Amino acid sequence: MKLVFASKNPNKIKEIQLLAPSIIQIISLEDIGCTEEIPETASTIEGNAILKANYISEKYGYPCFADDSGLEVEVLNGEPGVYSARYAGEPKSDDNNINKLLLNLKDKTNKKANFKTVICLNLNGEQHLFTGIIYGKITDKKVGENGFGYDPVFIADGYTKTFGELSTEEKSSISHRGQAVKKLVTFCKKL
């Protein structure tokens, strides 16, 4: 089965390729000649995943899937949420986003947070959504060089290391994206 993955994020592509079994061949946007920015204008994580998948299906005609992810912090009413990648504004910067998050949490005792991923699959004229959520907390400072985004400041419940300290394989086995991809793979294997 060939599926286009509607993402230009090399870190996400690497994680997805690690998780996808050999029965699913991941096709990149570059492979189909898509060089433009895909709109992410929805107000929810689910909405952005749907927008991106629909864009590729409608414009290029390929079966595809797209994901959107966000970090939701309880005491910040779910921020940064759908705006996680641009929390500190343009241009996108993981360091600036983390610094803004840590500043906003400076005087807070509640550091509970979760990562959420929604994958939208457009296949055979039907649309399917797969969600993964992992709960944890935000640290007071960055720890670890692995991963991307907010990984160096997120510790999953039941763990003592940040996502930034875990290997890609360790993170993928428990992460929000890993959960959503496993649901996608299980669905595709039944076809």
The sign of the CA dihedral 142, 143, 148, 153 is negative
- Cα 122 to Cα 3: distance, rounded to the nearest angstrom: 9
- Residue 81, φ and ψ in degrees, nearest 5: 55, -130
Q: Is 31 a catalytic residue?
A: no
Q: Are 72 and 116 in contact (CB under 8 A)?
A: yes
CB-based burial of residue 167 (10 Å sphere; 0-12 exposed, 13-18 middle, 19+ buried)? exposed
Residue of 31, 67, 68, 157 with catalytic role: 68
- For residue 10, which amino acid is it? P
- Cα 41 to Cα 149: distance, rounded to the nearest angstrom: 20
For residue 91, cis peptide bond before it (omega within 30 degrees of 0) = yes
Tell which phi-psi region holds residue 118, choosing left (phi > 0), alpha (psi between -120 and 50) or beta.
beta
Instruction: Give catalytic residue positions.
Output: 68
